[in-house]
Amino acid sequence: MKRREPTIKDVIPLEAGKIKIIQARVSSAYDMTKAGIYSIQYDMPAEHVVFKDAQTFECTLAGGIGKRESGLQSNNIQLAIEGRSNIQHEQNKNMSVIRKEGPLSYVSCSLTQKSQIRNAVSWALNYTDNAFNYLNEIKPSETNRYKTWFDRFTLTKWNAQKVHFRNLKNVFNSKTMTFHCGCKDAGIYAYVYRDQPYIIHLCPLFWSSPMTGTDSKAGTIIHETSHFSVVVGTYDYAYGTMACTSLALSAPSKAIMNADSHEYFAENFPVLF
């Protein structure tokens, strides 16, 4: 899933000693159809600091955190899950495709949306081809482009990224992709299910984003495609450019498996060498 960078409206203040109970449908994003013991933990970099005015009690979103040790991590809980079929998963598998045009299929998409999707996939192919060639032709041990999103160079990481972008460009070049245009969730660009390759659900922020550049339509498709287990199997450890650059510094092993980091490396805007 790709979300926009958080604003003050997305922040939930939690004062010292206070408890906030929120229900989260974990099975909507993760495969929990098999019975067993599941380990669940919140483990994300702290993207922003929120200050509360002592007089007005108004919360203000400050700048990003740049320290390596910054982060938010909960205790690890283990739950015995019975394992049930996911209704949304089953609906996606059984939903009939409205129309196929070449390697792209569409569900609930207008003619304008189909045209935008075709252009976005073409740009996604261009972006990933450029990224693959960059990695294949240059050993980026000291390049700003590589270090910004993945931090220090190692041969293992470099080889892994070459495989990642080769797989991505192969999908855009040869696989049949299905796009669902019915998502109405505000604040979201798109989402996928890792075990349902090449099916992408496009949401409101996708349609309002630019075709190319940072957080673009093309980049969103790269982000979502990288989530599929058969392609790369990335996770959403961090969202947004600021959080991703911090992630590269604080947890480079997570950065190389972070979807937005792959997107920004491919979009490369502003251009880094």
Q: Catalytic residue positions?
A: 224
For residue 235, what are the contacts with CB-CB under 8 A and spacing of at least 6? Answer: 227, 254, 257, 258, 259
Backbone φ, ψ for residue 214 (5° rounding): -70, 135
Residue 172 burial (C-beta neighbours within 10 Å; 0-12, 13-18, 19+): buried
| Short-list 195, 244, 196, CA closest to 219 | 244
* 24 residue type, one letter: A
CB 246 within 8 A of CB 47: yes
Place of tokens 């997570």: 254
Coil, helix or strand for 46? coil
- Could you tell me the two tokens for 235? 């996770």
